Amino acid sequence: MNFLPLKHYYRSLAVALIVPLLVAFFLCLHLYNLKLERVIESRQNGFNNITAQLSHAMNAADGLIDTMFKLYEQPLSYDFDPSWTRNVNQYDHYYYQSVGDGVGGDSRARKVCLNGLCN
């Protein structure tokens, strides 16, 4: 007795097992690829954040160093209030400035020595 459906039983069983296994294998590869792309993207974003922070810090340090060099190259200059130099008698190595009429009962003067030279 030759039963026709059993003739191709092993071949159909093999196809029924191999096709789902291949589909599952390719699905696993696809999911692994998606997971790998997400990890790579998150690492790339992390490196971009670190690069931006370093760039910001380096720009700040560069600006600070440029400002320091510019200030170092400029000569020292002071802006005095013109009222400070009123009533000042300047001599070779010192100058006198009166303190005021109502201070101490009489007109007093303050002697300031320049360059450590006083007479």
Q: Give the separation between CA 106 and CA 103, rounded to whole angstroms.
A: 7
Statement: residue 114 has pLDDT above 70: no
CA distances from 5 to 8, 13, 34 (A): 6, 12, 42
**What does the pLDDT read at residue 67?**
92
**What does the pLDDT read at residue 28?**
97
**What does the pLDDT read at residue 106?**
41
| Sole residue written with tokens 């992390």 | 46
**What does the pLDDT read at residue 75?**
73
**What does the pLDDT read at residue 9?**
78
**What does the pLDDT read at residue 108?**
46
Instruction: Provide the residue type at 46 as one letter.
Output: G
Q: pTM of the full predicted structure?
A: 0.45
pLDDT digits (tens, 9 = 90+) for 58-109: 999 999 999 999 888 877 777 777 777 666 666 666 665 556 555 544 444 4
From 100, 89, 91, 99, select the one nearest 118 (Cα to Cα): 91
Q: Give the separation between CA 24 and CA 20, rounded to whole angstroms.
A: 6
Statement: residue 2 has pLDDT above 80: no
pLDDT digits (tens, 9 = 90+) for 43-64: 999 999 999 999 999 999 999 9
**What does the pLDDT read at residue 93?**
67
**What does the pLDDT read at residue 107?**
42
Q: Give the separation between CA 106 and CA 88, rounded to whole angstroms.
A: 17
* Long-range pairs of 47-50 with CB within 8 A, sequence gap ≥ 24: none
